[in-house]
Structure 1
Amino acid sequence: MIAQIEKHPILSLFVCTILLLGFSLYFLPVSIMEARNFVSAREMLTDNNWLLTTFNGEPRYQKPPLPTWITACFGYLFGYQTVWALRFPAALMVFVSCLGTYFISKDIFQNKNSAFIVALVTLTSLYIVAIIFEAPWDIYAHGFMILAIYGFFKILTIKTFLVKYYLLFAICLTASILSKGPVSIYVLFLPFLISYGIVFGYKLKFKFIVKLIILIAIGFIAGSSWYIYVRYEDAQSFSKIAIEETTRWKNYETKPFLYYWNFFTQSGLWTILALTGLIFPYMKRRVENIKSYKLVLCWTLIAIVFLSLIPTKKTRYVMPVLLPLSLVIGFYMNFQIKNFKNLKSNYHRLPIYVTFSIIASVGLAIPFALYFVAEDYDLKLWILFLVGFAIIYYLSSLIFKFLKHKKLKLSFYAVVALYTSFGILLVPFSKPLIKENFETIQELNNPEFELYYLGYATPEQIFYNGDKIPNILKNIENITKGKKEVFVFTQNSDLNTIEKIKAHFEVSLYKIYDFNSDEINASGYNTRLHQKLYKLSPK
């Protein structure tokens, strides 16, 4: 079976992606970032706002539209309230990102099995998976960019002119800019350019340089076309949003320069191997292609420096660095797989023993932990629990067995299989443990409820409502003229204290909605998701 998996690495990688992420597309609650993006995609379909993108009817030009276009197409096919369909394109972009690291490492290692291992490391890195739920549009920009870098790498290294690599670079560069502006150029492409120059140098002919400049210019112009269009069609809104975004990048969530320098921990289960792979004095005597190792090492570190220079810092912004980091880990894994049996000292095997033992031990412990919170499970979940327990126990045992016999590659595949099984078997168990009060808001989306908000309507509310929720104060005149009963969501405001409202309506508290999705303690309680619903009856 292993031979067949390695014989078809791309198909195997695709299957692993679907197995790892498939159940998550169904069961996890919609996050705030997802809700914003899904609402924009829905309004593309309902309002035909394909270029002048909106959120809740208001201009939303903070992000370019390509991911929203793709999501809207899936929403059109499967329904714009179908969460798994809206998430599926982002999951595909995880696969695309893994393809990028696969192709680059295949050229570096000249071995598709080594490249397959790198791609699996990419797929199973913690924030590669988490990013599609926390900020799903980021994966588009970085996924397209890693493919663009592969095309650029081929252009630099092959002697013959092959138009497919030029097209790949230009198209993916354009797609990356249309996904999140120049972010991925800054954090991935520029560090790669600098690293390649440091390690290999640029000995390019004049005609070749001209071709590259033209190619990059085409990508920039095509990628910037949407910004130019919006700037022309809605200059006032565009300028206002641009100023707000610029201010946020300077002043919002500012962190110290060294904030990202634990970046290797974001690879999750590969943390120890990533840290070991980054130690140049140790690795330089153990890699077969020292220049290529220097390239990916410099690429990773320069990307972190570039990120650190930006005042605004969030943990999720470090995600693109995990792409070159997976190649660093690949160099270490490649050394270990080739030499694991013959290493003279267990000191050199220690990072492998610790990493693989931890993941296997977690696998053995998780089913027992789930048992104690399983009182709400129905018969189907209990059956899945027992099957999952058996599979996870078996895979954990295989990891220890293969380590004992020093069969590292088989142990690595067992680790990946165990990690993948968590996505298949464990995510459904979270369903009974989550309060899904957002679903109840759908009862308000009917002709009997004319719904408005005052102050702040959460993106999750707007998504689950299935339609826009207008601002009550902006529509008060039309409402009073119509003499109709309406309902208003608000977070902190007392509607009886607002002159415009109490002059025309009898105000009564109709219901309180708590949209916090988890049973969490008071210190972690999100007041943003605690909303009052008032009924306004004409006097």
Structure 2
Amino acid sequence: MNNRDNLPIKGNKLKQILYKYYYALLLIILAITVFSLTYRLGVAPIKDWDEARHGVNAYEMLKNNNYIVNTFNYENDYYNLKPPLSYWGIILGFKIFGYNLIGFRAISVLSAFLTIIIVAVFSYKRFGRIASLVSVMVMATSIHFLQFHGARSGDADSMYVLLFTISIMAAINSYYKKSYIYITGLSFSLAFLAKSWHTMAIVGIVGLYLIITKLILKFNWRQWLVFIGCSFAPILVWALIRVRYDGFKFIDAMIRYDLLSRTNSSIEGHTGPWYDYIVDLVVYYRWYIAVFILLLFILIVSQNIRYAIKDNFNEFIGLIIWVVLPLVLFSIAKTKLAWYIFPVYPPLALLIGWMAEYSIKSFRRSVYPVILCLVIVAAGGLYEYKFLNYIRTEPADVFENYLRDSRISLDKYTSYVYRPTQVEGTDWNQRNVFALELFKDGKAKDGGIKEFLKTDKDSILFLDNNDASLKLIKENNLKIVDSNSNIISVVKQ
């Protein structure tokens, strides 16, 4: 086990300053991280598809008092084929913070923050204080992970990345203490209960790491038995409980659609070339890739690359596998979505931090490490600026804002609500279904104006506030019960 705090601190002054003020600098970075994760969290618009659907699933679990079966619009959901752990996280957020977007996204934010913390601890213990500071800064400004579908979203991915990270770090730590492998197994199991088959990448990484390091030969049969139990017992318990509700229908759909179809075909048009994820990294991570190349060049020229690898060989092998294998596996799969590669961001941050530690120590003259440090900080600052600008300029959803701010109650309308996207539209989008449930405890029904006029039940129709809507209201003798500059709510007289 390596701990750089045990090494004598000699050489350039920057190294001494970074080591001396490590905790103060770490707190500053973490404070900025907390701000980035929470800034405008409660008003950032709900995203269609996965985030919205996760929100509906969790909200209706709570309303149905059924924490096993996920529903959409109060019918069993066989489209979102994820086990319930991430829904439980959202439910916990609702119970703590209330029925609002902060409660909805709170556990995702906490998961991302905890991921950054354990990156800090792991790099501190394995590589040193400079590595820890750099790794945390890189991870905290990895805007691809922080934005859509990630840390500030109600999706399952932030929790999944946390559990993925714990699982692989525990596997690496098992080289020094074998009992850590049980944490690997349990974290894998929980990751599966959050994100389903995506966790197969963990199996590949851990298996390859155990083979290359020859750890696979060092566990006895009792240790293997406990490890297998930790890895699969929670999944088996959930599966047995789930089949009591609808037989094997949900699990069969998980296998056929979420595993086989996504792997063998490009479902829903989510396709791309084999190098699609390389393009994503270039788009979202280009300046850190440049930093990575610069650090590698410094280590090669200074001939410190061999010492860096020798000092941390087991960690180096683990991190390389952790980056490369998911990229290969998800590149082979036919269905491609940008957030599939989120788990590679922690090891990339750790590699950059590890290289920065040895690169800064390579210099004797202070001016060169200062320049290198400024380059790394500049890259982080640029990404932080882009990230905050993204948050500030997100377009609002006018219907979501209307529901949040309106005092209208839907109780007397038996919660049957129609809202066409336009006057002639008929169906709801998923983000508005969730907004309706979250802010008004309403129930959406498709069909638009035609179904609204045919129903015998008390119902309410939401229309865009424009001349065409006013004409429609007059022609059908409808009553306006609430409105703002964007939305009009009407009922039948």
TM-score, normalising length: structure 2: 0.73
Q: Bigger CA drift: 4-13 or 61-70?
A: 4-13
TM-superposition CA deviations, 1:218-255 (whole Å, max 9, x none): 32221343233213321265157434434355331232
Counterpart in the other structure of 2:3: none
Counterpart in the other structure of 2:31: 15
| 1:90 paired residue among 83, 108, 112 | 108
Tell me which amino acid in the other structure corresponds to 1:21. Answer: L
- 2:164 touches 2:191 (CA, 8 Å); kept in 1? yes
Summarize the Cα distance change of 1:300–1:423 in structure 2 as closer, same or farther, 3 Å threshold.
closer
- Report the Cα offset of residue 438 of structure 1: 2.1
| 2:240 paired residue among 228, 238, 243 | 228
Residue correspondence of structure 1 range 42-441 to structure 2 within 5 A: 42-60=59-77, 62-80=81-99, 82-109=100-127, 111-130=128-147, 131-133=150-152, 136-158=155-177, 165=180, 168-184=183-199, 186-195=200-209, 197-198=211-212, 200-202=213-215, 204-205=217-218, 207=220, 210-235=222-247, 237-238=249-250, 241-242=253-254, 243-245=256-258, 246-249=260-263, 250-252=265-267, 253-265=270-282, 266-267=284-285, 269-275=287-293, 282=300, 285-287=303-305, 288-290=307-309, 291=313, 292-339=315-362, 342=365, 406=370, 408-409=372-373, 412-413=376-377, 416=380, 420=384, 426=389, 429-430=392-393, 434=396, 436-441=398-403
Tell me which amino acid in the other structure corresponds to 1:88. Answer: A
- 1:195 touches 1:299 (CA, 8 Å); kept in 2? no
Counterpart in the other structure of 2:10: none
- Report the Cα offset of residue 267 of structure 1: 2.8
- Report the Cα offset of residue 146 of structure 1: 1.0
- Report the Cα offset of residue 430 of structure 1: 3.1
Summarize the Cα distance change of 1:321–1:193 in structure 2 as closer, same or farther, 3 Å threshold.
same
Quick one: higher RCO (CA 8 Å, sep 6+), 1 or 2?
A: 2
Counterpart in the other structure of 2:13: none
The secondary structure found in structure 1 opposite 2:68 is coil
- 1:337 touches 1:408 (CA, 8 Å); kept in 2? yes
Tell me which amino acid in the other structure corresponds to 2:457. Answer: K
TM-superposition CA deviations, 1:98-123 (whole Å, max 9, x none): 234334433432x2332232132122
The secondary structure found in structure 2 opposite 1:25 is coil
Counterpart in the other structure of 2:12: none
- Report the Cα offset of residue 166 of structure 1: 5.2
Counterpart in the other structure of 1:37: 54
- Report the Cα offset of residue 40 of structure 1: 1.9
- 2:182 touches 2:230 (CA, 8 Å); kept in 1? no
- 2:115 touches 2:162 (CA, 8 Å); kept in 1? yes
TM-score, normalising length: structure 1: 0.68
Distance 1:42 1:141 in 2: 20
- 1:22 touches 1:423 (CA, 8 Å); kept in 2? no
Summarize the Cα distance change of 1:92–1:463 in structure 2 as closer, same or farther, 3 Å threshold.
same
- Report the Cα offset of residue 126 of structure 1: 2.0
Q: Indicate the RMSD between aligned Cα atoms, in angstroms.
A: 4.1
Distance 2:104 2:301 in 1: 42
| 1:451 paired residue among 397, 414, 417 | 417
Distance 1:422 1:256 in 2: 27
Tell me which amino acid in the other structure corresponds to 1:267. Answer: Y
What is the aligned-residue identity percentage? Answer: 19
The secondary structure found in structure 2 opposite 1:451 is strand
Summarize the Cα distance change of 1:96–1:9 in structure 2 as closer, same or farther, 3 Å threshold.
farther
Summarize the Cα distance change of 1:190–1:507 in structure 2 as closer, same or farther, 3 Å threshold.
farther
- Report the Cα offset of residue 137 of structure 1: 0.8
Residue 459 (structure 2) pairs with residue 486 (structure 1): yes
The secondary structure found in structure 2 opposite 1:175 is helix
Tell me which amino acid in the other structure corresponds to 2:400. Answer: F
Q: Bigger CA drift: 265-274 or 28-37?
A: 265-274
Distance 1:437 1:507 in 2: 23
Distance 1:127 1:409 in 2: 23
Distance 1:283 1:202 in 2: 33
Distance 1:314 1:15 in 2: 31
Distance 1:78 1:275 in 2: 44
Distance 1:150 1:510 in 2: 61
Q: Which runs of 5+ in 2 are unaligned?
A: 1-16, 421-425, 465-474, 481-485
- Report the Cα offset of residue 23 of structure 1: 0.5
